[in-house]
Structure 1
């Protein structure tokens, strides 16, 4: 830890996917609560996010790196320079629309590697250090999409199903360690994800969405309180409850109507 950080005595938060959307809002909340920050994304807008966050008076290190690869995550870990992470916000993620067999597999693989490979590797490395120290908080951004088979979003929904399940399992493994694991499960949120996923011509792409700042607030409060999981918004709470009792073929057909290209 740098001399400045030692003097301030501030905790350190690591936030991925912090250039925009929920990740940027999580970083803002961390800064407002007095966390120093290491933020990362796979796009140059991360520097603008860092400049804004520094105005809060906290230390902010920003890194543009490929969060879908082990090598990119290693670059992020090296940027920590040995500083212990008090709170990890594993938020980086990608989505992709259209039918699976019509997708470019390189793009589908990028969704898999960003949402799963890079995320799990980061949690594995940071989580080990937290367990060794006997303290730490981890927030994983899952989704209510993980409760639903997702035609025209099949890879994305599958990764979120994995993350939702993984978060509960890891929380149980660490229950006596001093490290807490929380899972934020938002619904459709007003971020750039639908444009990037080429889904603006879909019903879900055109529908009203939840505010990213409010979603982040719910997740931030959950991780600070050590809660296991939180679904943001009452409509999403209802949807997730119904998904648990609705047959999968019906859920798949409902999602098709929302995500099929040209359904808007």
Structure 2
């Protein structure tokens, strides 16, 4: 790490939104600490170095306490100017059918890791009276996510958590931003087991580079929350503010229920 460039931490940075966010920070003069648990991380780090950044890659599984300690140890002695807690995982299917171990992994990464990492990072920023922290929530944080119940509930937690922290630190030099992307072309739905037989898995998705560019700009402006991506996603974000929960739950079911891809095809054919 250099003394002349600010430092950004990005989790979940081996691909998708996380990688594109790291790229945005690298292109705008930041050095990087990037984290992910998979083998693609070092390839991503090499690509990011080509943007002119010093990059430290920390391969660690944030679902475990050991992985979280490994990442925090790698930050020891560094001043993190921007932290984007982006790592997340989902699992599709009816709650009665999914494995409780899979549900717990969603909670461990999306909720527990978020809290455990945010605490020391935010404390250090408040002590310095400077810094930016962002959390990747989702547009689904505003709706009851039938057939993704644990994932959408975890994103509702992240959304509420981020907005509460933003209020707590509003009189300091620290900003807190909640990022709310919609369905994005990242491989998320493949990993969640939703790629082939759900309407949301087979639909056209947002470009992660576009999502990340909008997210970067919102973080640097210090916005409290931002819906990122296409016009369609932004409309979905607006709808989430006004539609009743029952309507949103039905709408999500039509997109996420196994077999909904076939139903959507039937609707399109009339």
TM-score, normalised with respect to structure 2: 0.93
Residue in 1 that maps onto 2:134: 139
Residue in 2 that maps onto 1:237: 234
Paired with 2:50 and 2:185, the residues of 1 have a C-alpha distance of 25
Number of residue equivalences: 259
Residue in 2 that maps onto 1:220: 216
Matches within 5 A, 1:149-160: 149-160=144-155
- 1:117 corresponds, among 112, 117, 136, to 112
- 2:207 corresponds, among 199, 206, 211, to 211
- 2:259 corresponds, among 253, 258, 262, to 262
Matched, 1:199 2:194: yes
Give unpaired runs (5+ residues) of structure 2. 262-270
Matched, 1:32 2:27: yes
Paired with 2:224 and 2:250, the residues of 1 have a C-alpha distance of 30
Paired with 2:171 and 2:240, the residues of 1 have a C-alpha distance of 31
> How large is the RMSD of aligned CA atoms in angstroms?
1.0
1:247 to partner: Cα distance: 1.9
1:68 to partner: Cα distance: 1.5
Residue in 1 that maps onto 2:165: 170
Paired with 1:70 and 1:136, the residues of 2 have a C-alpha distance of 25
Paired with 2:31 and 2:65, the residues of 1 have a C-alpha distance of 24
1:240 to partner: Cα distance: 2.2
1:235 to partner: Cα distance: 2.1
Q: Which moved more, 1:238-247 or 1:110-119?
A: 238-247
Residue in 1 that maps onto 2:267: none
Q: Deviations over 1:103-133 (max 9, x none)?
A: 1111110011100100111111111001111
Task: Give 3-state SS (helix, strand or coil) of 2:179's partner.
Answer: strand
Residue in 1 that maps onto 2:181: 186
TM-score, normalised with respect to structure 1: 0.96
Task: Give 3-state SS (helix, strand or coil) of 1:227's partner.
Answer: coil
- 1:74 corresponds, among 66, 69, 84, to 69
Paired with 1:192 and 1:15, the residues of 2 have a C-alpha distance of 18
Aligned 8 A contact 2:17 2:208 in 1? yes
Paired with 2:134 and 2:214, the residues of 1 have a C-alpha distance of 11
- Deviation >3 Å, runs of 4+: none
